Amino acid sequence: MLGEYGWMVITGFIMMIFKGVIVNTFEALMIFIGSDYDSDMVVYIGADEKPARIVRVGLTKTIFYMKQGGDWSIKLVVPNERLKSMIIKQKLPSNGHIITEK
């Protein structure tokens, strides 16, 4: 019915439908493989820079423990595709080595 190049039309249509899923999966894979966020890293989240410890970087989500008072008592689960829109900072010492709080 679609002729010799019908498979290209169908493939293009399927890719357009699943474009968001493909992009989100690729971005999540890059965060999972990349070294921007590592487990046990202390970062500061949001404009008010709340301290948070990265507990686990998974393929689809990243888990943070946020500090409240004197202990790490709030669990925050963030889908990896949302990490790019979050404000995440990490303080570095003057010698350039990454520091972590325990």
Helix ranges (DSSP H) in 18-90 = 19-33, 80-83
Query: How many angstroms from the chain centroid is the CA of residue 73?
Result: 21
pTM of this structure: 0.64
Q: For residue 93, what pLDDT is reported?
A: 67
80 lies in some domain: yes
Sign of the C-alpha dihedral computed for residues 53, 57, 58 and 62 taken in this order:
positive
Name the domain count of the chain.
1
Tens-place pLDDT, residues 35-86: 677 888 889 998 888 999 999 888 788 899 998 888 888 999 998 878 888 8
Using 50, 70 and 90 to split pLDDT, how confident is the model at 95? low
1 lies in some domain: no
Q: Which range of residues forms the domain containing residue 22? A: 6-89
- Residue 32: CB atoms within 10 A of its CB come to 15
Token pair, residue 45, equals 């989240």
- Residue 37: CB atoms within 10 A of its CB come to 17
16 lies in some domain: yes
42 lies in some domain: yes
12 lies in some domain: yes
94 lies in some domain: no
99 lies in some domain: no
